[in-house]
Amino acid sequence: SNQFPVRPDSQSTPWRFGIVASEYNQQYVDGLVGFAKDELQVIAPKSETTILRVPGSFEIPIAVQAVVERQRVDAILAFGVIFDGETMHAQLIAGAVTTALMNLSLQHKVPILHEVLVVKNDQQATERCLLPKTNRGIEAARAAIRILGSLNNLGKE
């Protein structure tokens, strides 16, 4: 069904990654963080990763902004899990976070990998957060390294 990105070649660049992760729905978010950290270590063993925890997904953008402004990072991975209930709440939060992260990325010229997931149930959350085959943490790590490679290659022809 969906194309899972292949693992990029091993990189010797000492990149600095920031991870901003929600404490809400912690078991699932911890899965994303763990898989992402491991994948970054495998692909870019000289890189460093700093993790900042925030209460919920709505607080992710302010924390991302703080990381970008106070630390030198090459890319940020944003992780949260929102269960889609019967109200508009999940959609409102997800939409607001998405817009804020895109604006921060463009304003600061730093790739921000958006993995604030809206899921319908535990099965969806488990597949995306806890299982390696469809893990959004792994996907975010690979995408972070790919976008850094793309941006670094600009103007080098």
Q: Give which of 32, 40, 39 is closest to 13, Cα–Cα.
A: 40
1, exposed or middle or buried, with CB in 10 Å at 0-12, 13-18, 19+?
Answer: exposed
Structure tokens at 90: 């999940």
Output the pLDDT for position 3: 67
This prediction has a pTM of 0.92
21 has which bridge partners? 53, 79
Q: Give which of 85, 89, 4, 15 is closest to 46, Cα–Cα.
A: 15
Ranges of residues in the chain whose predicted pLDDT is under 70: 1-3, 86-88, 155-157
Q: Which of 23, 89, 122, 131 is catalytic?
A: 89
Are the C-beta atoms of residues 129 and 121 closer than 8 Å to each other?
Answer: no
Tell me if residue 108 is catalytic: no
| pLDDT, tens digit (0-9, with 9 covering 90-100), for 137-154 | 999 999 999 999 888 888
